[in-house]
Chains A and B, each alone.
Chain A
């Protein structure tokens, strides 16, 4: 018979949990980023791997140390610091000074994430905030697109017979072809150029049900429609700059995007509108970071306005 000195656990139901965990979700995001990281190494050389590794290690150490100082439990096991580090690294130019990158990591992990309570409580996407802080602080370094991978460029020049050596991203008026955009043979941040690899990552995240398609599709769709309406080339606007990368990996960040499907659609459309307004009318060549940052900030308001109707509540009842 049972030894009565052994106490039984009492807890609220359910007494049964799924095997999913925060760390598994973050691991899936990291897996989805692998093709992009590989592409960055191929297009921009091994230094891009150095940047990714540097940012990853810095973010993990910064998270560990700041939690320690704040006397909070250790959270590096949830892998979210690795995701932030990788995303930040992939949004930097390959020539970036590593000390500047460290500054970005500090802003992302310490200021934006841990000062506001750690995972799930940050009000803007840490990687984007880190990047924006760097753009504002080191504008020249952050827009240095002078690096050219000679091997890739020679292949490309041979096929396209276009002399593609310029020092600007396509958005700032550089030369480009659709094929270059698709495989990523253009100037830009190390992770944002290879469209095909980003799409592979997107497909993986969808299949694993880590993200839903609403934010990326609405974001990109809005950019395309607006670009067309304003007489710009929609395909060019989708595939150049950081739109695709940010739409798939950054705008879908759980903490800073709305909870409901309706909210996600509003969020995606909003990101698209702001991005294109900045691109076409502002003096900046790129508006993705600012667009997502602004939409992050109004996310709580979107959430408040998109509470779904409970089961059995008809439209007439809801109006009362």
Chain B
């Protein structure tokens, strides 16, 4: 039984932790919250210089060629620090889509630029409120041209390229969908910033009016490739969520160990102790599910879809609980703009929705269980 990260991977986690605790404090997050910038450009450059963007990109395409376990430990630290950078959209989504379905030529074209930090990418799926289903996709990709409108695209204003889930035929089901790579600075693309629930992760609406785009993977396979990419991204995001939950627990504990009420530390009241104990329990369950996801990711296991859904649901629940109860533990001060608590509360919801809500992932999870128990 060796269900843990290696010493080298733990060392990488410690380095990432040290770096981010110096370079990405909540002041960094606050700056992005209140500025018009979509992300912290200095931090992004330093992250690129350290090679993190190419952690799982093979060396032949300019990456470090390490692997997914290494990427997961970095993700945990990015989540702990609430790093306001387009890491997840570029690395977990755009790069993963290219790695999953790109031609050799596409890999050569995009991956080295991702690894070096020259290219920000994202993945555009939703077109309106409600579930993203094959039927809900109205954006068309036909004859190399993309037309339609996507909403709530994470890092949509800052991204150079996007992978877009579109309709390639009249088939209303999965087989009618395709993925397209589009240059967001090209003609026929209009973008508009949208107000995000988490201002440290900005969103955009993007309109395509016959924009030139290239196919990623085969027409008819868009939905299945996207599902696979989302599964993989869900596992890495789960590590960010676990890191965020840890931060909330640490903050709540620190505050409870300083604050007096009714003549004693609030940390000595069972109402607070039990709340923090529950945060700990949920976070450890989520961490263990995320570890299993990391194993599935690193070995490309048959169990990956189930592991991804479990990691996703567990981590979303843990971060939601920890971030809301962190505010509650702080009391009134926790609800002020000046306190940092709301950064976590907002990031928790943003991460919990951006790859699809819990409801969607629970449905995937039970479908996987049905298939495996059949």
Asked whether A and B interact, the reply is no
List chain B positions with a Cβ less than 8 A from chain A.
none
A-side interface residues toward B, CB under 8 Å?
none
